[in-house]
Every structure is written in C-alpha cells, then in structure tokens.
C-alpha cells in the first residue's frame, strides 16, 4: 500500500488532498534503518505517519488509496463513509466522488448536513428504512426546488411517511 505513495507525483497528490481536507502538513518518504521507505510528516524531527496520525487522517489516507487505485471498478459502495469526518470534510469527499465519472458511487451516512441541493439533486438522495428505499423527491408531495433547505425539511418531518 505504501509503495504507490513513493512515486513523487502521487505523494504530492496525497499532500494536496490532505491539505484540502484541512491537514496542513508536509509529507515525505524516508528510508528507515531497515532500508524500507516509509511515509513521514516532514517536521524538524520527521514523525512516522502511521504511528502519529489520527484515526481520521489514517482513514483519509485509506480513502485516497482506494480512490487512486480503484481503476477497474464500475461501482463503489461505502457504508457510513463519513464516520471519522467533520461535516465540511464529508462534503468535500462527496464532491470528489461525484466528479469521478469512472464509477457509480453509493454512500450511506447519518449526517443530515449532507442533505443539500448544493451537493446533489434531491432525486439522488435516498431514505433507507427497515423495509424500503425511497428517493427524497418521492418521499414528499411538495415540489422540491433548488432554494429549499433539504436538511431543514428532513429534520422537520417533511419526508416522514
């Protein structure tokens, strides 16, 4: 998994990805005493990435790895994809996946902040209940418009049966 990061272009893409995610740290590849190249935070005394990174940062690394290496897939499903992420980061990942035209993506989340016309159309959101799946646009008699606050409508019970 670390080998693909040792390519300078990919390492730079990882740095940019983490920076966009709010992790403003520089990264380097460094050969350890055993001769193996490993990922480090580039500080005065380099810190081993996988020993000091938070669980969320490690999860972002894993997400980046999947995103960069998933070349022969047509469908990606990630359950509770945002379990380690704050709201803005979850939104960033949705937007990143939405721009990728190589595969179809289904993400599950309990994060109602993602219910936004800014991110996706209402017919792209689905409510999963015990025995059925309903698109947000079919869960109401209201005509949903771009100006509607989908999260507020959801919290206020507009999509309840």
The string of DSSP letters for 67-132 reads: HHH--S-SEEEETTTTTT--HHHHHHHHHHHHH--SSEEEE----GGG--TTTS-GGG-EEE-SS-
Task: Record the pTM.
Answer: 0.79
Beta-carbon contacts of 76 under 8 Å, excluding residues fewer than 6 positions away, are 66, 70, 97, 103, 104, 105, 106
Task: Give tens-digit pLDDT for 51-66.
Answer: 999 988 999 999 999 8
Task: Give tens-digit pLDDT for 133-154.
Answer: 999 989 999 888 888 999 999 9
Q: Compute the distance between CA of residue 57 and CA of residue 147 in angstroms, rounded to an integer.
A: 34
pLDDT at 160 (0 to 100)? 81
């Amino acid at each position: 998994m670390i080998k693909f990061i040792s390519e300078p272009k990919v390492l730079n893409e990882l740095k940019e990805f983490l920076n966009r995610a709010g992790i403003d740290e520089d990264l380097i590849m460094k050969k350890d005493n055993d001769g193996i190249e490993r990922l480090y935070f580039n500080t005065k005394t380099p810190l081993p990435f996988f020993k000091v990174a938070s669980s969320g940062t490690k999860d972002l690394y894993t997400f980046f790895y999947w995103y960069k290496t998933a070349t022969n897939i047509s469908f990606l499903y990630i359950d509770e994809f945002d379990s380690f992420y704050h709201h803005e980061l979850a939104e960033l990942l949705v937007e990143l996946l939405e721009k990728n035209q190589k595969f179809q993506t289904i993400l599950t989340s309990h994060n109602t902040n993602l219910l936004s016309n800014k991110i996706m159309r209402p017919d792209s959101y689905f409510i999963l209940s015990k025995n059925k799946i309903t698109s947000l646009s079919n869960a109401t008699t209201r005509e949903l418009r771009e100006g509607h606050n989908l999260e507020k409508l959801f919290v206020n019970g507009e999509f309840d049966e």
